[in-house]
Amino acid sequence: MNPLKKLLLGLVAGAALIAGAQAQEAGVPLSKAPNLTNDLAALQNGAKLFVNYCLNCHSAAFMRYVRLTDLGLTKKQIEDNLLLTDDKMSETMVSAIDPEQAKEWFGTNPPDLTLVARSRAGLGGTGPDYLYTYLRSFYRDDTKATGWNNLVFPNVAMPNVLWELQGQRKAMFDKVKEHDGEEVEVFRGWEQISSGTLTPPQFDQNVADLVGYLQWMSEPTHNTRVRVGVWVMLFLLVLTLFTWRLNAAFWKEVK
């Protein structure tokens, strides 16, 4: 086999193994995230949730506030409801948190979220699937510094910022012996400790809106690109038909 082909196959296999190991480590299958990138009302609610619950720690340094007008929001609506600091419409969505303090509080600096919906894609599902499951998988864990843990991302440094909406839950585990006799914990279900301000279906819908916004933010021109691409393919199809018939007309006398 060609050495280059061996190298490429090795890289693909390695990536698959890493993604599979990550999915296995999480111990929970990824839920399918609703595709809301064409739902302006959902995206507007997702932008509000992002500004109120995510932007305190996480930045979106490649997204400008003015771009939110693409979601059907007016400049006044953005300035009155989404510009919570002295930032200008032309500026990017940068968190005001001090990186040094963040590292001291959480052990790491919160990552930028502009492209998180694309970077979190893996073997177990898409980036939105990962985020949708992750944000709904927090549970109370008093052994952690933040008081929270997550099924999808065990020992995550991030606390559950949406706990007031969701309420507090405890994860139930069963101890199961593997073939080598070692005991492992297997997730069994949830125990609700306290209720949130939203019902479970309402909370899931709000998380879906937030994930939809993160998906839109990772590529705001995605829907336009797809729409233009369809028209281009139709144009090329019609052009091919005309070219084929024109070619037949030119060569008819030669034959």
Query: What confidence tens digit (pLDDT) does each residue in 186-223 have?
Result: 888 999 999 999 999 999 999 999 999 999 999 999 88
* Residues 6 or more apart whose Cβ sits within 8 Å of residue 20: 123
Instruction: Please say if the pLDDT value at position 23 is more than 70.
Output: no
Domain boundaries, the chain: 19-166+199-220, 221-255
Residue 8 has pLDDT above 50, yes or no: no
Closest CA to 95 of 52, 48, 55, 49: 55
In CATH terms, the superfamily for domain 19-166+199-220 is: Cytochrome c-like domain (1.10.760.10)
Quickly state the pLDDT bin for 19 (edges 50, 70, 90). Answer: very low
- What pLDDT does residue 54 have? 96
Per-residue pLDDT of 172-185, as tens digits, reads 998 888 777 788 88
Q: In the structure encoding, which two tokens stand for residue 230, read together?
A: 């369809």
For the CA atoms of 166, 97, 40, 66, the dihedral, rounded to the nearest 10 degrees, stands at 170
Instruction: With a cut of 50, say whether residue 106 has pLDDT above it.
Output: yes
Predicted local distance difference test score (pLDDT) of residue 27: 57
d(CA 54, CA 82): 12
Q: What is the average per-residue pLDDT within 120-134?
A: 90
CA 128 to chain centre: 4
pLDDT at position 171: 93
Give the pLDDT of residue 123.
65
Rounded to an integer, the average pLDDT of 221-235 is 91
pLDDT band at 254 (very low <50, low <70, confident <90, very high): confident
pLDDT of residue 222: 86
* Across 2-16, 66-80, 114-128, 151-165, least confident range: 2-16
